[in-house]
């Protein structure tokens, strides 16, 4: 959820600053992840310093890297779509995980988690300036992408998917 703080770059700087930071950050995250996956010593050091990796991420790219890539892709859309995509990726996605952990799994995801994602996404998009109907469509796009169990990590598709939906709906 703390990754939403990157949006503070807009009032403190500009959309251009946000876009530059996200694209450079994405490149750095990918390079660091490639090095982490190849270096046993770096991987162990990172686990000690920043214990955010799941056990299954020891030998594959982490959800954090995929989130950075998703933010970088979302940054390519015209404002304010990147901010809305990042908000949903940063806040609604973790809420879905938290809410879903108490539900019954369906294909690795839960209906409770998806409902939580949709409600939070809608609750973020309406105050961010989208009318109710458009916000509901964008929230539904984000929820479907979060629930999707395709070959890509959902962290890489939620923010850009919502940004694309917002761009098309505005």
135-146 residue pLDDT tens: 999 999 999 999
Rounded distance, CA 110 to CA 116, Å? 10
What confidence score (pLDDT) does residue 76 get? 95
Contact in structure between 127 and 168 (CB atoms under 8 Å): no
pTM of the model: 0.85
Residue ranges of the chain with per-residue pLDDT less than 50: none
Residues across the chain:
170
What confidence score (pLDDT) does residue 52 get? 67
What confidence score (pLDDT) does residue 124 get? 95
């Amino acid at each position: 959820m703390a990754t939403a703080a990157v949006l503070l770059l807009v009032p403190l700087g500009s959309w251009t600053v946000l876009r530059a930071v996200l694209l450079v950050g994405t490149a750095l995250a990918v390079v660091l992840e490639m090095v982490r996956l190849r270096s046993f010593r770096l991987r162990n050091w990172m686990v000690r310093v920043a214990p955010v990796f799941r056990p299954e991420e020891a030998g594959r790219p982490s959800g954090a890297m995929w989130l950075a890539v998703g933010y970088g892709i979302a940054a390519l859309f015209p404002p304010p779509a990147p901010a809305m995509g990042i908000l949903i990726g940063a806040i609604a996605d973790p809420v879905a995980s938290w809410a879903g952990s108490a539900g019954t799994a369906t294909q690795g995801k839960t209906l409770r988690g998806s409902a939580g994602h949709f409600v939070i996404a809608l609750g973020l998009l309406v105050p961010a300036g989208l009318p109710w109907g458009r916000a509901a469509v964008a929230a539904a796009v984000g929820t479907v992408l979060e629930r999707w169990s395709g070959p890509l990590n959902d962290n890489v598709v939620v923010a850009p998917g919502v940004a694309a939906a917002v761009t098309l709906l505005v």
